[in-house]
Amino acid sequence: MNYQLKRIGVWSAVKISFLINGLLGLILGFFAGFILFFFRALLMNFAEFQGGMDINPSMMGGAFAIIILPLMYAFFLAVVNGIIITGVSVLLYNLFSNLTGGIEIELNSIALAQAAAPPMQRQTPPPIQPAENTIPPDKTDEPKNPVDGDDKREEPPLTSEGGVDV
């Protein structure tokens, strides 16, 4: 089966790219911040060992390296790469796919291999047979006909609105 990818939805591609690049930015920013934090500590120890060179501790690290840097990387990658570059790339693809016909994709269907055991067959229970007449005929649930005279309905008492019997 051959298919052609003729058009990509710009907004759907930008949404996915924004999320993926934002997540990658957080991960890369965390690793970059950790490396900067590590080298700051290494430089501080080296400076003390060499005779006390004064290095400004706010120069490379601390909370900036571990907290702020991942957020900056995430924002930069999500906005620049996730929105701008992906949006322009998708627009260009849609323009050129109209001229060239798009990307051809060949898809094959894969048949599942048969299991070694035979397939289980669904077993249906035997039909339910009606029970023989176990209920006596006089105890049936059939409603009685009120015309037969067995009707014992009570009439409501006659009262006036004031509660006095009439």
Q: CA-to-CA distance for 33 and 66, rounded, in angstroms? A: 5
* pLDDT attached to residue 47: 63
Angle at 42 (CA atoms; ends 36, 45), nearest 5 degrees: 140
To the nearest 10 degrees (0 to 180), the angle between helices 69-76 and 10-49 is: 150
- pLDDT tens-digit profile, the chain (166 residues): 888 888 999 999 999 999 999 999 899 888 888 888 787 777 776 666 555 555 555 555 566 777 888 888 889 888 988 899 999 999 999 999 988 888 888 888 876 655 455 666 778 888 887 777 666 555 555 555 555 555 566 666 666 666 555 5
Distances in Å between the Cα of 12 and the Cα atoms of 17, 69, 97 are: 9, 28, 18
pTM above threshold 0.75: no
**Cα-trace Rg, the chain:** 41
Strands (E), the chain: 2-5, 103-106
* pLDDT attached to residue 11: 93
* pLDDT attached to residue 54: 57
* pLDDT attached to residue 68: 82
